[in-house]
A = this chain, B = another copy of it.
Amino acid sequence: MGKAANTRLTILQKSFDLIYVNGYQATSIDVIIATTQVTKGAFYYHFKNKDDMGMAVVNEVMYPAMTEVLIKPLINSADPVNDIYKMVHGLLLDNPHMQVKYGCPVNNLTQEMSPINEAFSQVLTRLVNECNEAIMQSVENGKKAGSIRANVDAWQVAYFVMSGYWGIRNFGKLFNSADCYHTFLKELHSYLQGLK
């Protein structure tokens, strides 16, 4: 990787970390260039403005990461009752890039930015829709394979699972403890069993 490309990637990754912890609007460009040791001239060479950088963080850092941990594990799954549970369990408890205290980066950014910035809404919608579709598709596969009741609505399940995941992430932030994750996962397990 060339030096310039490296500078750009450094900005994106460090910015992601700062936004994850402090929120987007509370993450100033001055702090970003201080932590990255990149000058303001370099920053504005690589990005048109702050929002341009924020959008790049979504598309080039968050999107690939979510694909890896949420979508890939569900593709070609014909046993969604187990695979969805495992995916959510992994997302909550086994992901080294997320911390209980700071919740889910996608959830955080959606909540903060979607009502006040249409461009953020769009890139986040694309990301979130793909997550929903992955869950939906796995449920459809399960229905075909007979591991899920035929009268289960796959879209409803997708929204229900994603909503639950986002919501319990917020509890985790509030209590700063993973205890609630275990409580949630037990009930998620019951719920998913009920789809059989």
B174 touches A128 (CB 8 A): yes
Question: CB-CB contacts of A153-170 with B at 8 A, as 1s and 0s?
Answer: 101110110111111101
Please state the number of chain copies in the assembly: 2
Contact of A163 among B21, B103, B125, B167 (CB under 8 A): B167
For residue A21, give the distance in angstroms from its CB to the closest CB of chain B.
7
B162 touches A171 (CB 8 A): yes
For residue A160, give the distance in angstroms from its CB to the closest CB of chain B.
4
Query: Secondary structure at chain A's binding surface: helix, strand, loop or mixed?
Result: helix
> Is A194 positioned at the interface, with any CB of B under 8 Å from its CB?
yes
> Is A37 positioned at the interface, with any CB of B under 8 Å from its CB?
no
For residue A63, give the distance in angstroms from its CB to the closest CB of chain B.
15
> Is A85 positioned at the interface, with any CB of B under 8 Å from its CB?
no
Contact residues in B for A155 (Cβ distance below 8 Å): 183
